[in-house]
Amino acid sequence: MKTKLLQGIAAVALAASAGTAQAEDVIGFELNGETPIVVETDAPAHLDGALSTIRSGWTFRDPATQAMEMDDFDNPGMLAVEDAMVAWETAEGSEGKSCMDCHGAAEDMAGVKPVYPKYVESAGEVRTLQMQMNDCRENRMGAEPWKYDATEAVSMEALLSSVSRGMPVNVAIDGPGAETWEMGKELYYTRTGQLDLSCANCHEDNYDNLIRADHLSQGQVNGFPTYRLKNTKLNGIHSRFKGCVRDTRAETFSAGSPEFVALEMYVASRGNGLSVEGPSVRN
Amino acid sequence: MATGVKPRVKAPKSASAGEVVTIKTLISHPMESGQRKDSDGNTIPRSIINRFTCELNGNMVVDVTLEPAISTNPYLEFEAKVDEAGEFKFTWYDDDGSVYEDAKPIEIA
């Protein structure tokens, strides 16, 4: 009941500042009692015919789990953000540079997370935030790259995400990255595994229905990296994809593979308009 | 010896006289139970926070005994009745003898 009430308050507060939001009946909550987070809004145009409303995974969770995310002190994912903050300021590699030496304060990176994955001109490919971080580590710092979805990498992604919380996800689907986006879309609708399921079968056709004892979400990734109560650590998007694909009883792609990069780009674009929430708290 | 130990406290800055306030505390700590073995089969020695106290102006608010089954990064939330302005003093006692402290002032609004 408490959360319902809070949601109500948040909705009123958001309506008062409707200048920034496009939909009139914005539904959300206030993070730490100050940052508005949109958890339900109109679907982006490219989802025409598939979904009319997009909902953050937060809306599918029970009030206790929701409350954990609403306050940074209660959010265990913020411990990883603190670790990453130390890493941000620590010089590493042969160049003796830290992230901070080039980028300044971590807070100055606000606005970076919402647009990733994106086409990086200099690299000539679509990159996720973790790929871009490793590019920095290898070429600017002279440090070892992090393994994809390794603890350090996911924590750093959580730090970059945390400073962008409240900003709308805004992944470009046209331009030079369009080809990768199309590939991601195809993967999304391709059935895999012995169970012969595509992403869409669960997350588009059956969201809000029960899968065993749990509510199926829309599979939005605006809340990643996600602290899962199930394994009590931060989880990267690709690791989550692996879990899903495995559950269809298929051989999975590996984290950081071109297939998952494309899929991440497509799935992220399905959440265009939702707020960045990472590090979020989920089951 | 536990590393990376950092206490955190969230308490209101002010309260009205007689008000009951909620205080949240968390200390990052591995809370090694002493029951686990490493890859060579040797027991990993117990290393936990075994006691936590909170005092308001010298009066004990809570005094908690923590046991090995309590998970990593113990989080404690409790209530305190504030009659006058002063300072909350928080103390965590580690198995290795370390004592971690934090303090939060509170005003009467």
Distance of residue A31 Cα from the nearest chain B Cα, in angstroms: 16
A73–B24 CB contact, under 8 Å: yes
A233 touches chain B (CB under 8 A): no
At A64-89, the pLDDT tens digits run 999 999 999 999 999 999 999 999 99
Task: Give the A window 55-74 contacts with B, CB below 8 Å.
Answer: 73-74
Reduced to 3 states, what is the DSSP secondary structure of residue A134? helix
Q: Report chain B residues whose CB lies below 8 A from the CB of A79.
A: 28, 73
Residue B65: pLDDT above 90? yes
Is 60 exceeded by the pLDDT of residue A98? yes
Cβ–Cβ of B8/A73 closer than 8 Å? yes
Determine the Cα–Cα distance for residues A228 and A281; give it in Å rounded to an integer: 6
- Per-residue pLDDT at A96 exceeds 50: yes
Nearest CA in chain A to B72: A232
Residue A187 near residue A131 (C-beta atoms within 8 A): no
Please state the rounded mean pLDDT for residues A170-199: 94
Distance from the Cα of B89 to chain A's closest Cα (Å) equals 19
Looking at residue A251, what is its pLDDT?
Answer: 94
Q: pLDDT tens digit string along A142-168?
A: 999 999 999 999 999 999 999 999 999
Q: How many CB atoms lie within 10 A of CB A253?
A: 19
Position A125 pLDDT exceeds 70:
yes
How high is the pLDDT of residue A9?
44
Distance CA A245, CA A212 (A): 17
Give the mean pLDDT of chain A.
Answer: 89
Place of tokens 């999975």: A252
- Say whether residue A79 is in contact with chain B using an 8 A CB cutoff: yes
ipTM of the complex: 0.76
Instruction: Spell out which residues of chain B touch residue A82, defining contact as CB-CB under 8 Å.
Output: 6
The pLDDT tens digits of the residues spanning A28-58 come to 888 988 899 999 999 999 999 899 999 999 9
CA distance A180 to A163: 27
Å from A227 to nearest chain B CA? 15
Per DSSP, the three-state class of A252 is coil
Select from B3, B5, B8, B29 the residue whose CB has the most chain A CBs within 10 Å, as the one to mutate to test that interface: B8
Residue A82 in tokens: 């603190």
Q: State whether residue A145 sits within 8 Å of chain B by CB.
A: no
- ω before A225 within 30° of 0 (cis)? yes
pLDDT confidence of residue A26? 66
Confirm or reject contact between B28 and chain A (CB < 8 A).
Answer: yes
pLDDT for A136? 94
A196 pLDDT more than 90 = yes
Contact B73 A73 (CB under 8 A): no
Query: A3 pLDDT exceeds 90?
Result: no
Mean per-residue pLDDT for B51-69? 94
pLDDT digits (tens, 9 = 90+) for B78-91: 999 999 999 999 99
The predicted structure's pLDDT at residue A257? 95
At A11 the pLDDT is 46
Interface touch A79/B28, C-beta < 8 Å: yes
Distance (Å, whole) CA A226 – CA A232: 10
Helix (H) or strand (E) segment spanning residue B26: strand B19-28
| Model pTM above 0.80 | yes
Percent of chain A with pLDDT over 90: 84
